A and B are shown apart, each in its own frame.
Chain A
Amino acid sequence: MTARSPAVALAAAGAIASLAAGCSPIDRGPRFRPAGNTAPRDGGTLRFSVIEQVRTLDPTTGYDEMTNLATHLLFDTLVDFAPGGLEIMPRLAARWTVSDDGLVYRFELRPGAAFSDGTPITAAHAGYGLERALATPDSPSAEYLADLAGARDVIARKATACAGITTDGDRTLVLTLVRRNPALLSILTMSFATPQRPEHVAAAGDQLRRRPDATGPFELVSWDEGTRLVLRRNPHYYDPARVHLDAIVMLENVPRDTQFQMFERGELDTAEKLAAPDYLFVMSEPAWQPYIHRLVGMNAFGSRMNVTRKPFDDRRVRQALNYALDKRHTARLLNATTVPAHGILPPGMLGRDAELAPYPHDVARARALLAEAGYPGGLDVDYVTTSDEETQKVAGSLQSDLAAAGVRVQIVVMSWATWQTAVGQPGGPAFSFTSWSADFPDPVNFLDPRFHARSIKAADSTNDSFYTNPEVDALLDAARAELDQARRAALYRRVERILYDDAPWIWDYHRMTTEVVQPYVHYAPHAIWTRDYSSAWLDVGLDGAPVPR
């Protein structure tokens, strides 16, 4: 390399960069258009990618987001959420009844329901699936079924069969509870609750995680772990009209920017969790707008305060911080993919009080409340956040917002694991970033773990505000025993109001997921399962190829 050449090379590179950036490309919108089919077209392969990898195809032990995307296609459950999200609909069970006391559930299996090899599914298979969830060591879902009679003994290995799981003939599964659980049907929509065959589990042995015994719309073709998972239509699925695709290919470990490049080249049919630059590009391009789907996730983000520690033991301080935060700032930093929060329950969740408006940004009010609480000169606090780029951005914005109200925030950054351990201890950081993602979409999975006195522990406390309020506890317990969903919702709305005023968190936002699809993909994300492609179809030409725009 001569001394002259770097300058020349750089000048050339600069010129190319200016050309590339200056001239707008010929076509910035989608490369394809819908072919114009009016009725769902059968056939074709849908290709998508995920940023991490699928851990297992064993429905009992899989629980993370990537794994759920695969298991949800492979395994059907007795009941499921209707596309809108809150309604429970029949799936493998044709119908079900609940006894008047709310303790006995009878599920009647659909005729024709079968495993992917054609073997009919019986009530015993459905019961065995639930028993495996209780008996498997480290089962992530055992606790969800703990209200079943005898479940505790199975979890504790004192019994092998669960007394609360019985069958009435080949077609009827009977579940008996020891206490009411209005969230039981929601819990039974999760993939672990799929019917399973003891013979298959025994034969597969430690290969079970690679050999799914499919009960859902798709079955496994191949799995090159960490790279590519290929599914094809289950030939024995009881409801063939629901399935249109021949196959689904799921690529694993694809980084966000690569995903979008592949999507733009037409190598992927959908793209989710776009990196900020790609998201802004898609949002700025009118031609893409009809193909962008947005969905509020089952989550809540904000900052929790330990209400037993100074200065956060004073409700006025906590309210002042809620007034001081400008939620528009967080929204901008997160590219407007948020919904401002007034509490922990996200939009669409049962019991969320839609009339409750989030705390407005009101610096004068914040200062007045602080002065009332005895801090006329403001105060100094430490704020713990995680080393994630996004949480640090949000913390920086919170720091400058609170400074305007006289609250001087010192940011302390911890690794995710350290942060998680630290905030769950009563003596840990008093003020920190917090978030919550529900395992199943029911208020009981939001409010009880985070704000019930029962959830306070000396370590790993999920109620990490250490908030205790007998009225809230009583309302939460009453809601847990209430089977009428409307009355239950009313109880949760009262809890929401109390928590709003008591402000154990700075309520900040709920995160939306955004997905962009090729114009020929007919599909809308499921309110709960998000990327559920089981009923998607491709509006492509007669030759099976997408039609160029």
Chain B
Amino acid sequence: MSRARARFVANRGAVLGAVLVIGLLGIALLAPVLSENNPLASDVEHGLSELGAPLPPSRDAVLGTDQLGRDVWARVVTGTRTSLSIAAIATLIALVIGVSIGLVAGYAGGAVDSALMRLVDLVLAFPLLLLAILLAALFREAELSSSNAPVFLTLGAVGWTTMARVVRGKALVLARSEMITAARALGAGPARILVRHFLPNVAGVVIVVAALVFAQNLLAESVLSYLGLGPAPPSPTWGHMLYEGRAYYRTAPHLVLAPGIAIVIAVVAFHLVGEGLRDAFDAREARSAGAR
């Protein structure tokens, strides 16, 4: 582990990513403190020009105001919280589903393995975003539309496949290892073997994949929000801010740049961390199964 840490710290990209991730987490946690302006409050008096145009960045609003006179900085900061929490919950869902299916498939092998992997193929056969759009639309029809649940359920439901494949590959190797044969010989049951022996051994690769899935979820959440399938307005999200601001790109470019740059920074940061972890653990499985 300490050798892995040394490799991670030596990787400049990874360190930069980690610093950015810590910064983003800090912003998300301190959102209410970082901006005194209410991200939802429309200030017609001070937030709009005489013509009703969004105001450019100024001392009162560091990133300017939007078309309703709302503070863009306050919205980006609040959006950090929304985006990170949705991506985190979605990643957790994907992790639970993916690790469970991967472990079971790898441990049981045979027909169970084949059946579960065909399920993975089935999910993978659909383009990720199209499937997410379909699911998000279905979840919104259900009584969940006022919360963020449709978004993280959707992302969790489509995002677990990579995790399942990687964990299954690792588990297949483990299942044939002498360590497991020994554990069986000592009378350990399947549950004990999975939890005590498999789980610690796949942890490294799980962390790597989780970081990459997290980055993918951040991006997918922005795409869904841009398409109007994200968290319900007026809750600010980067994707929706991008959508609302796009028509103003000529007169108020800050409306596109602020959320756009935020998305780029967040996605790149989590990718750098994920890739840094992968290189640090030298988890070859993650490298090959990262494809989808």
Interface residues of A (CB under 8 A from B): 1-4, 6-7, 10-11, 13-14, 17-18, 20-22, 25, 28, 257, 275-278, 280-281, 283-284, 326, 329, 331-336, 393, 396-397, 400
Contact for B44 among A28, A284, A333, CB less than 8 A: A333
Known: A6-B216, A6-B267, A18-B257. A28 touches B52 (CB 8 A): no
A280 lies within 8 A of B51 (CB): yes
Contacts of A257 on B, CB cut-off 8 Å? Answer: 247
Nearest CB to that of A278 among chain B residues? B247
| Measured CA separation A336–B38 after assembly (Å) | 25
In addition to A7-B271, A11-B264, 12 A-B residue pairs with Cβ atoms within 8 Å of each other are A3-B162, A21-B249, A22-B253, A277-B67, A277-B247, A280-B52, A280-B251, A280-B252, A332-B44, A335-B52, A397-B44, A400-B44
Q: Are A281 and B271 interface neighbours, CB within 8 A?
A: no
B59 at the interface (CB under 8 A from A): no
Residues of A within 8 A of B137 (CB): none
With A332-B51, A335-B51 known as contacts, the answer to whether A10 contacts B264 (CB < 8 A) is: yes
Cα distance A276–B247 in the bound complex, in angstroms: 9
Q: Are A334's CB and B257's CB within 8 A?
A: no
Min CB distance, B242 to chain A, in Å?
9
Q: Which of B74-94 contact A (CB under 8 A)?
A: none
Chain B residues whose C-beta falls within 8 Å of the C-beta of A329 in the assembled complex = 44-45
Residue B280 lies at the interface, judged by CB distance under 8 Å to chain A: no
Evaluate whether A21 and B216 lie within 8 angstroms (CB atoms) in the complex, with A7-B271, A280-B53, A329-B44 already known: no
Cβ–Cβ < 8 Å partners of B219 in chain A: 6-7, 10
The 10 closest A-B pairs by CB, nearest first: A21-B253, A277-B247, A332-B52, A335-B52, A329-B44, A14-B264, A3-B290, A277-B248, A7-B271, A280-B53
Closest residue on chain B to residue A331 by CB atoms: B52
Complex-state Cα separation, A280 to B66, whole angstroms: 13
Residue pair A3, B216 in contact (C-beta under 8 Å)? yes
* Interface size, chain B (Cβ < 8 Å): 39
* CB-based contact A280/B271 at 8 Å: no
What are 25 of the A-B contact pairs (CB < 8 Å)?
Answer: A1-B128, A1-B292, A2-B290, A3-B162, A6-B219, A7-B219, A7-B267, A10-B219, A10-B268, A18-B260, A21-B257, A22-B253, A276-B247, A278-B247, A280-B51, A280-B248, A284-B53, A332-B44, A332-B48, A332-B51, A332-B52, A334-B52, A335-B53, A336-B50, A396-B42
Give B264-282 as 1s and 0s: 1 = Cβ < 8 Å from A's Cβ atoms.
1001100100110000000
A164 CA to B49 CA, complexed, in Å: 57
Interface of A is mostly: helix
With contact pairs A21-B249, A396-B42 given, residues A7 and B256 touching in the complex (Cβ less than 8 Å): no
Q: Which of B52, B216, B274 has the most CB of A within 10 A?
A: B52
Q: Which of B251, B267, B271, B292 has the most CB of A within 10 A?
A: B251
Check if B271 sits within 8 Å of A4, measured CB to CB.
Answer: yes
Which residue from chain B places its CB closest to the CB of A4 in the assembled complex?
Answer: B271
B215 at the interface (CB under 8 A from A): yes
Give B76 Cβ to nearest chain A Cβ, in Å: 14
Q: Hey, which chain A residues are within 8 Å of B216, CB to CB?
A: 3, 6
Given A2-B290, A6-B219, A332-B44, residue A281 in contact with residue B251 (CB < 8 A)? yes
Determine if B3 is an interface residue (Cβ-Cβ < 8 Å): no
Which residues in B have their C-beta under 8 angstroms from that of A332?
Answer: 44, 48-52, 69
A20 and B249 contact, Cβ closer than 8 Å, known pairs A14-B260, A397-B44:
yes
Q: Which residues on the B side are within 8 Å of A275 (C-beta)?
A: 247
In the complex the two chains form, what is the Cα distance from A276 to B215 in whole Å?
Answer: 34
A276 and B267 within 8 A (CB): no
Verify A333–B52 contact, CB threshold 8 A. Answer: yes
Cα–Cα distance between A471 and B216 once the two chains are bound (Å): 71
Nearest chain A residue, comparing its CB with the CB of B247? A277
- Give chain B nearest CB distance to A399 CB in angstroms: 10
